[in-house]
Amino acid sequence: MRRLSLLLGLGLLTGCAGGHPAKFVVFFTQNSTQLDTPAQTVISQAAQRALAGHGTVRVEGYAAASKDLSADELLAIDRAKIVGRQLVVDGVDASRIRQQPRGPVNNEDGALASRRVEIEVTRN
């Protein structure tokens, strides 16, 4: 849990940086598509950044690699959709949002890396 909090904090700092594009990271619990309060905060900050510019918003969903790869891919798609919907609720025009599932992740940091959605906000 402490590691998750640290990475969430790093995601917030990355999203607040002045560089272009800005990157935000939303974490989910294992096999979940529920947005908790920290996730909603990150999405809100990404939406504010998107509203300040007129660029695009890329949303990439990830999931772990297990025995059922099609279920893992669906989880990645669902996570990206949920984050995309919340961005729209927070005021971002849906036409500016591009969603991409990245699907199963199988690496040494897979447990945490596979439970994320990355939001990248570019400015024009």
Please report the pLDDT score of residue 42 as a whole number.
Answer: 97
Place of tokens 């447990």: 111
Q: Model confidence at 102, in pLDDT bands (50, 70, 90)?
A: confident
Q: pTM of this prediction?
A: 0.78
Domain ranges of the chain: 24-121
Burial grade of 120 (CB within 10 A; 0-12, 13-18, 19 or more)? middle
11-66 pLDDT, tens digit each: 444 444 445 689 999 999 888 899 999 999 999 999 999 999 888 999 999 887 77
Given a contact cutoff of 8 angstroms between Cβ atoms, the answer to whether 49 and 57 are in contact is: no
Domain 24-121 of CATH type 3.40.50.880? no
CA distance 47 to 11: 14
Q: What tokens were used for 47? A: 């939406």
Neighbours of 112 (CB within 10 A): 14
Question: 85 or 69: whose pLDDT is higher?
Answer: 85
